Chains A and B, each alone.
Chain A
Amino acid sequence: MHGRACIVFALCLPPTQPGAFANPQVIGQLQAGVWTSVGGPGTSTREYPLTELGRQRYESFRLDQDPSLQCIPPGMPRGFSPRSPMDFAFHGNTLTIRYETMDVVRIIAMDGDPPPPYAPHTPNGRSVGHWDGDTLVIDTTHLSAGEVNRNGIPKSERMTIRETYDVEERDGAMVVLIRMTLTDPENFTEPATQTEMFEYRPDWELLPFECNVTEY
C-alpha cells in the first residue's frame, strides 16, 4: 500500500534524491550552446589554506613544470580553466562537458554509482552527477596528484571536488554560476572554495585548439 502511494505521489520525493527533479528547462538552457567566462563581483575567490606539506609542495614547484606548457591538459580542477569556453551535452545518463582549451572532454555519470576504490587515479578523475532541485551537482574523486593552478598549488590523490551549476539571468544575459569546493586533507587544512561565472554566447561555437608546444 505504501509503495502504491509513493507511485501516485512521486513528486513528494525529497529534493536531494538523485535525479528527482532533472528540470528539462535547465537542461535545455545548459545545452543551449557555448558558455564563456566573465568576471564580476564575487567571482573567482581563491584562497588555499595550505598544510605544511602543501606549502612545501607549493614552494618547490617550478613554474616551467606546468604541464600545459607542453600542451598536456593538466586535468581537474584546471580542466575547467576560467578562461576556456565550454559546452554541455546530456545523453541518457551521461553528461559530457567539453572545454575548448586543450580540447578537454569530461564525462560525468549522472546518477551513477561511486567508482570502485580500485578505479585508477587520472587527471580528470571520476565524476558522478545528480540534480538537487535546479542545481546540477558533480562530485569528482580518483584524481591524480598534480597542481590546482599554474602557480603550483598542489593537489593530491586524496582531493575530492564538488561542483554546483546554477543557471540564472543577470542583466538580461543568461549566466551559469559554478561553485567549486576542493577538499584535500594532504594539502589543505580546510576545503577551498571558488566561484566562477560563465555567460551564454549564442553566436559562438567551440573551436579546435590544436595546441603547439612552445620552446623558449
Chain B
Amino acid sequence: MRIPAIATPFPIPVILAVLAVAPVRAHHSSVPWYDLNADQITVSGVVKEFQFINPHVYIIIDVAGADGAVEEWRLESTSRNRMVRTGWTEDSIKPGQTVTATGFPAWKGNGVDTEEIIVDHGTLVWRRE
C-alpha cells in the first residue's frame, strides 16, 4: 500500500492558530519531513480520511480558511501499534468529525507531525508519550 502525497506541494498555509511552544522532541522518524525546531502549530478541520496504519497513522482533514477556501492537510501521528495499545481502533475517527491537532509543521506542504490530537472538542484525545 502506498499513500498518496499531498496534492498541493506549495500551498498557502491555513493555520487557525500558531502556538509558541518549545520543541520537546530531539528526533523522530519523520525528521526529513518536519521542522522539529519550528514553533508548533495548531490546525482544525473536518476529517476526510483516517488511515490507521504503520509505521504512522494519518488523518486527512479539510481546513477552511477565513476566505472560505478549503485546503487539505495531513496530520501524522505515531504507529498504529502504539495507538492500539492506548485503546484506539480504525473506527476511533470517522469522516465528518472535527479534529484539532497541534504539532510541528512540514517543511513543505500542508502537514503536521502531531503532538496532540483532539477529536470533536475533547471526546477523544491523543497525546504523544
Contact = CB atoms under 8 A, between A and B. Distances in A.
Contacts of B31: 63, 150-151
Contacts of B111: 216
B5 A69 contact: no
B53 interface: yes
Contact of B29 (A150, A204, A209, A210): A150
Interface in A49-79: 62-64, 66, 68-69, 71
A23 B71 CA distance: 61
A212 B81 contact: no
B3 A214 contact: yes
B25 interface: no
Interface string B33-60: 1000000000000000000011110000
A71 B81 CA distance: 15
A204 B85 contact: yes
Contacts, number: 54
Given A212-B2, A212-B54, A68 B81 contact: no
Nearest to B33: A216
A177 B37 CA distance: 32
Given A63-B32, A207-B84, A151 B3 contact: no
Interface residues of A, number: 21
A211 interface: yes
Contacts of B84: 207
Interface string A27-40: 00000000000000
Nearest to B76: A214
A213 interface: yes
Nearest to A39: B129
Interface string A180-216: 0000000000000000000000001001011111111
A209 B33 contact: no
Interface of B: 1-6, 27, 29, 31-33, 53-56, 79, 81, 84-85, 106, 109, 111
Interface of A: 62-64, 66, 68-69, 71, 100-101, 150-151, 204, 207, 209-216
14 contacts: A64-B32, A68-B29, A68-B55, A69-B32, A71-B55, A204-B85, A207-B84, A209-B79, A210-B53, A210-B54, A213-B2, A214-B2, A215-B3, A216-B109
